[in-house]
Each structure stands twice: as C-alpha cells, then as structure tokens.
Amino acid sequence: MDSHNNEHPASQARDTALLGVSALLLVGGMVAFYTVAATLNPALKALVLLASIAAALATLYQTAKGRALWGYITGARIELRKVVWPSKQESVQATLMIAVVVLIMALLLWGLDSLLLWGVQFLTGRGV
C-alpha cells in the first residue's frame, strides 16, 4: 500500500473502476454525438452529449479524487469572490502611469544608445 495514501485497497480498486466508468461514459457520449446520433436532431445530439458528460461527472464525484477536485473548485470560486477588482478609473490611471514610465525609459535608453554610439564613433574615428 502507498505510504501517501491511507485508503483501503478495496476503496482504491473501487475508485479506479469508477474512474474507468467515468471515462467510458465521456468517450461513449462523444462517440454517440459524432456517429450513432448522426441522424438525430442537433438539439437532441447536444442533449445526449450533455447527459453523458453529466453522468461522467456524477460518477467521477463518487471517487475520492473526484471529491477532492470538487473541493478544490469550490475553494477556488470562494477565493475568486474575495478578489477586489479595480474600477475603470483605477485601470485607466494605472495604464497611463505605465505608458509614461515606458516612454521615459525609451527616451533614456535612446539617449544612452546615442551617447554610446557617439563615443564609439569618436574613438574609432568612423562617422566623424
């Protein structure tokens, strides 16, 4: 038994089987969407695909990894709600500040490049 996994071997085997069933449901729905349901109404085809996805997700949720994944997703949504998004004015001000800093840096680098070019031309006697 894996030292990082405290599950019973029977539970691991059940989870593995459920993961396989979930994958088969998902693949089966896609195969049905593209082949078997070729003569069906497009809305019915989409319904068959969505039903297979729902069945695959429901089966996946029955595993320990599926429940852990769902916990991660719900935790991420909770954290996303805590984000304080900037207002339009703050976004515009930040963008303008960045543009000014980029312009100043571009002018400084252009000046430094021109100075170095002049120095090299002066030392080598070319271009003077």
Roughly what angle, to the nearest 10 degrees, separates helices 42-61 and 64-81?
100
Domain span at 50: 9-81
d(CA 60, CA 47): 20
pLDDT band (50, 70, 90) for residue 3: very low
Residue keyed to tokens 């930040």: 94
Residue 115 domain flag? yes
User: How far, rounded to the nearest angstrom, does the alpha carbon of residue 11 sit from its chain's CA centroid?
Assistant: 31
Which pLDDT belongs to residue 7? 62
Residue 116 domain flag? yes
d(CA 123, CA 5): 70
pLDDT band (50, 70, 90) for residue 20: very high
Which pLDDT belongs to residue 32? 85
Same domain, 99 and 60: no
Same domain, 58 and 14: yes
Residue 77 domain flag? yes
Per-residue pLDDT reduced to its tens digit, 21-72: 999 999 998 988 888 766 778 888 888 889 999 999 999 999 999 999 999 9
Question: pLDDT at residue 77 above 90?
Answer: yes
Which residues have C-beta within 8 Å of that of residue 15, sequence separation ≥ 6? 7, 63, 64, 65
Which pLDDT belongs to residue 37? 62
Same domain, 39 and 93: no
